[in-house]
Chains A and B, each alone.
Chain A
Amino acid sequence: MSLLHVEDLRVHFHTRNGIVKAVDGVSFDLEKGKTLGIVGESGSGKSVTCYSLLGLLPTPPARIESGSALFDGVDLLKVPEATLRTYRGNRIAIIFQDPMTSLNPFMTIGAQLIEPLRIHMGMSRRAATDRAMAALREVGITEPQRRMCCYPHEFSGGMRQRVMIAMGLATEPDILIADEPTTALDVTIEAQILELIRKLQESHGIAMIYISHDLGIVAGIADHVLVMQNGVVVERGAKAEIFHRPQHPYTRKLIDSIPRSAKPAGSTLAETQGGSDFLRIEEVRISYPVASESLFDLHQREYTAVDGVSLQLAKGEILGLVGESGSGKSTLARAIVRLVDLKAGRIRMEEILLSELSGQQLNDTRPEFQMIFQDPYASLNPRMTVQDCLAEALERRGRKDRKELQAEILALLADVELLPEHLRKYPHEFSGGQRQRIAIARALALKPKLMVADEPVSALDVTVQAQILKLLLELNRKYRMSMIFISHDLGVIRYIADRTAVLYQGKLVECGPTERIFNHPEHPYTQKLLSAVRTSRLLEGAE
């Protein structure tokens, strides 16, 4: 007898533009003490499936068309909201993706932990406080007594997620739903959190539904895996089976898209072997002023984001820049394209001293070094069509007559594999991957010698990610463009970079050919980073 039995669940969204079948006939069983993993890309219906069980979907537009979800003899889809409320957070707990937004910033951690205990379990204040402290201790938060009085902003991202887990577990639920709980976290933190979840689940015997877009993570943590696409379960099975003998083409595509292999042969430009230095970054230091703590504190404090980093880049080379949040990798990238000023050091591109340029001179040189931003939803002006956006970039290099301009725009579109009919559309009409292609085309239009890409694929689904990476490699070869590629994802770096530099707390800890770094990491931090990825994800070779 399974703990939760979901049968033929159908959830449709009734929108102005017609009916969207978000979940279309999903069935599964969840056993006590087991973990069910649900994998899929954005829009596959994996979150909607779980939210509908808890009545967390906005209705309308969502409507549960059919199906049943038997839990403890009741159908969760049919019971009134009041009954559902006694289950929610009590017998079925949920951990959300973003620990920054799912905690109330105006309430202490303690108050937020105690509230559900008092409401759901009718505990006295004292008993609830003891239980909350025990839960905090269990998730590895030291000095729980003191931490209970802290507000969410006083915790780091990883610590906040621990608090969320403590909150989920404090009421001793039967089922824990984890909706991408580690997506917003660094890899080393991710490994710790996953280990924690696994341990707690074992000791409490809780059943868990783990939702993720990352097949590697799901395969690492789940006993059973559902692969979803467009609201339909396309494949289900034990984890090893799914990962090593995928049946459905979509599952195979998902697995193949995970960038984990070395750079494709022949994609390295010959010139890079020469070691001619195209870009030299010398002893760069960047710091920000920090608001002083009291009014009378006249001493200006500074936070050093990048501290004495030196790097070189050859013509046509792709340099990978890896590091966790706070490592200074984005700050360094922004300094190279002169969005941030240096405190010390120099940046030289060929004969030009980039770091010394200013005013008109700087503006005239800017087309030489372009940037691709992380979020393709934010980096395109929502009120400009693709046509206007590319025309503006092209005309940056001088006015052109209509025909010539149109021909160049079409050539750019072909480069990034978009179609001419896309020209009249606005950014919001495109998918994430297509938008990133537009952003790439815009940067290419200026014919830069150096391209700085700041996490250009981390906002994208894994299959789209693979396409964009391939495109960037092709463009790199076609235009002999040097590239600095920033990512927190080691798999991505391994796939695209010729050389890799590892940053940790603003300092360069290791730099060398990518394969050397991955196979024989020298610095302890690099080793820790690599082992974190291996333990949290089931990759090939790891059984």
Chain B
Amino acid sequence: MDNARSSPSLWKDAWRRLSRNRLAMLGLCVLTVMVSLALLTPWIAPYSYSAQDLDLGATPPSGAHWLGTDAFGRDLLTLILYGSRVSLAVGFLATAVALTIGVLWGTVSGYAGGRTDAVMMRTVDILYALPFTIFIILLMVIFGRNMFLLFMAIGAVEWLTMARIVRGQVLGIRRQEYIEAAIVMGLPRSRIMYRHVLPNVLGVIIIYTTLTIPNVILLESFLSFLGLGIQPPQSSWGLLISYGVETMEEYPWLLFFPAATLSLTLFSLNFLGDGLRDALDPRAATD
């Protein structure tokens, strides 16, 4: 209720503008379909993800296997569907973790300034300097392998850049007269940050988020390779693509379909991101 009351017009107007943007709506539809398919996979997948048919081997797309099969005779469509569960979950959840920590950290640091800012940003610098691979191996040694760690590891790295970007933006906005006007009104700091600072850095946050999601999806395959992520026979888009690359010359469809799925997701994300950025900036309105 408080939310609805405290920032009514911007979000309502933004939704109205977004719904007029055809590309952004198309992107939103594609993403919705993808997420629904991922959620419904166990019921709609034509085969089990571990069902092998070694005699069949790799076959091109056919009536029985719409997208073909891999070298073990597993149905590629099934693998992509199961893979989307992992990849989309990693993509959205890890990014959400990075987004939350990064935006909070950056906003507070940039707005507080002075010593607080210095301490917070040096912390970011130190974490930046930590070699990622060693960090991952350490995590695995201490905690063993699980999905939760995957989100943590990715989130722990991705929020650093977000925090830096947001802080830079906030530093600029803090000096604006409308922030001073809000201070003179005697509004509490948290409210100034939430209502006056954040909406004005949203554009950059959204753009960076749409860039982070694909990054994270691919990072998962790297981590899986190191042994932190998921292991066959489970699959993810990242894993499918990296196997696909190995057998590109003999079985091109094994690379083409997973890569096409990932590209489609990225296109949709970018269209939606651009649409959101424009929708949230009243000055960009064409009406």
Residues of A at under 8 Å CB distance from B? 16, 337-339, 362-367, 369-371, 373-375, 378-385, 387-388, 392-393, 396, 424, 426, 428, 439, 442, 446
A428-B282 CB under 8 A given contacts A375-B177, A388-B9: yes
**A351 to B217 CA separation, bound complex (whole angstroms):** 63
Q: In the complex the two chains form, is B181's CB within 8 Å of A373's CB?
A: yes
A387 CA to B196 CA, complexed, in Å: 15
Using Cβ atoms and an 8 Å threshold, which residues of chain B touch A380?
Answer: 178, 181
- Across-interface contacts of B195 in A (CB, < 8 A): 381, 384, 392
Whether A378 pairs with B177 at a CB distance below 8 angstroms is yes
Query: A9 to B13, alpha carbons, bound, how many Å?
Result: 42
A388 in complex: contacting residue of B8, B180, B188, CB < 8 Å: B8
**How distant is B98 from chain A, measured CB to nearest CB, in Å?**
24
Contact at A383–B282, with CB atoms within 8 Å? yes
Known contacts A381-B200, A392-B195, A424-B9; A339/B183 CB under 8 A: yes
Tell me the residues in window 234-287 of chain B with beta carbons closer than 8 Å to chain A beta carbons.
280-283, 286
Q: List 7 A-B contacts (CB under 8 A).
A: A369-B184, A371-B181, A373-B177, A378-B176, A384-B9, A392-B185, A426-B283
- Asked if B119 CB lies within 8 Å of chain A CBs, one says no
- Do B196 and A381 have beta carbons less than 8 Å apart? yes
Q: What is the CA–CA distance of A345 and B231 in the complex, to the nearest angstrom?
A: 71
When each residue 194-205 of chain B gets 1 if its CB lies under 8 Å from chain A and 0 otherwise, what string results? 011001100000
Complex Cα–Cα for A378 and B196 (A)? 13
- Whether A382 lies near B282 (C-beta < 8 A) is yes
Point out the residues of chain A lying under 8 angstroms from B114, CB to CB: none
Q: Check if A428 sits within 8 Å of B283, measured CB to CB.
A: yes
Complex CA gap A373/B180 in Å reads 9
**15 other contacts beyond A379-B178, A428-B283, with CB at 8 A cut-off?**
A337-B184, A338-B184, A366-B184, A366-B185, A371-B184, A374-B177, A381-B178, A382-B200, A382-B283, A383-B10, A383-B199, A384-B199, A385-B13, A424-B9, A426-B283
Interface residues of A: mostly helix, strand, loop or mixed? loop
- Quick check: is B32 within 8 A (CB to CB) of the other chain? no
The complex places the Cα of A446 from the Cα of B183 at a distance, in Å, of 13
A337-B184, A363-B186 known; A16 and B286 CB under 8 Å? yes
Contacts of B286 in A (CB 8 A): 16
Smallest CB gap from A454: residue in B: B177
Given contacts A367-B185, A396-B186, contact A379 B282 (CB under 8 A): no
* Chain B residues with a Cβ closer than 8 Å to the other chain, count: 26
Residues of B within 8 A of A (CB): 7-10, 13, 176-178, 180-188, 195-196, 199-200, 280-283, 286
Indicate if the CB atoms of B10 and A379 lie closer than 8 Å: no
Q: Which listed residue, B7, B177, B184, B280, touches A370 by the CB 8 Å rule?
A: B184
| Nearest-Cβ distance from residue B287 to partner chain A, whole angstroms | 10
Interface contact B7-A442, CB-CB below 8 Å: no
User: Nearest Cβ in chain B — how far from A268, in angstroms?
Assistant: 27
Nearest CB in chain A: distance from B123 CB, A? 26
Closest chain A residue, CB of each to CB of B173: A381
- In the bound complex, residues from chain A placing their C-beta under 8 Å from that of B176 are 378
The answer to whether A363 touches B184, judged by C-beta atoms less than 8 angstroms apart, is no
CA distance A362 to B182 in the complex (A): 14
Which residues on the B side are within 8 Å of A367 (C-beta)?
185-186
Secondary structure at the B interface, as helix, strand, loop or mixed, is: helix
When chains A and B are docked, how far (Å) is the Cα of A184 from the Cα of B176?
21
A370 to B8, CA, bound (A): 25
Closest to B176 in A: A378
- Closest residue of chain B to A364 (Cβ to Cβ) is B186
Is B185 touching A393 in the complex (CB atoms < 8 A)? yes
| Closest 8 pairs between A and B when the two form their complex, measured CB to CB | A366-B186, A426-B282, A379-B177, A385-B9, A378-B177, A363-B186, A383-B199, A381-B178
Q: In the complex, what distance in Å separates the CA atom of A537 from the CA atom of B69?
A: 87
Q: A539 to B45: give the CA distance in the assembly, Å.
A: 87
Give the residue name and chain of the B residue nearest to A442 (CB).
B181
Q: Nearest Cβ distance between residue B180 and chain A, in whole angstroms?
A: 6
Give A349 Cβ to nearest chain B Cβ, in Å: 14
In the complex, how many angstroms separate the beta carbon of A377 from the nearest chain B beta carbon? 9
Q: Are B8 and A383 in contact (CB under 8 A)?
A: no
Asked if B181 contacts A439 (CB within 8 A), the reply is yes
Nearest-neighbour CB distance to chain B for A387, whole angstroms, equals: 6
Report the minimum CB–CB distance from A421 to chain B (whole Å): 14
Residues of B within 8 A of A424 (CB): 9
Q: Which chain B residues border A388 with CB–CB below 8 Å?
A: 7-10
Note all chain B residues with C-beta closer than 8 A to A375: 177
- Decide: B9 and A387 in contact? CB cutoff 8 A: yes
C-alpha gap A365/B199 in the complex (Å): 27
User: Which of A16, A381, A393, A396 has the most chain B CB atoms closer than 10 A to its own CB?
Assistant: A381
A441 to chain B, nearest CB (A): 12
Residues of B within 8 A of A370 (CB): 184-185
Please give the distance in Å from B11's CB to the nearest CB on chain A: 10
Give chain B residues whose Cβ lies under 8 Å from the Cβ of A383.
10, 199-200, 280-282
Q: Name the residue on B nearest A360 (C-beta).
A: B188
Measured in the bound complex, the distance between the Cα atoms of B282 and A338 in whole Å is 31
Alpha-carbon gap, A486 to B10, bound state (A): 34
Residues from chain A with Cβ under 8 Å of B9 in the complex? 384-385, 387-388, 424
Instruction: State the CA gap A365–B184 with chains docked (Å).
Output: 10
Bound CA–CA A131/B185 (angstroms): 56
Bound-complex Cα distance A388 to B8 (A): 8
Q: Which residues of chain A are near B177, meaning CB under 8 Å?
A: 373-375, 378-379
Closest to B196 in A: A381
Does B185 lie within 8 Å of A396, measured CB to CB? yes
Q: What residues of chain B lie closer than 8 Å to A374, measured between beta carbons?
A: 177
Within 8 Å CB of A364, what residues of B?
186
Nearest B residue to A429, CB-CB: B282
Residues from chain B with Cβ under 8 Å of A446 in the complex: 185
- Cβ B200 vs Cβ A396 within 8 A: no
A529 shortest CB reach to chain B, Å:
27
Chain A CB within 10 A, most for which of B7, B9, B200: B9
Q: Which residue of B lies closest to A388 (CB)?
A: B9
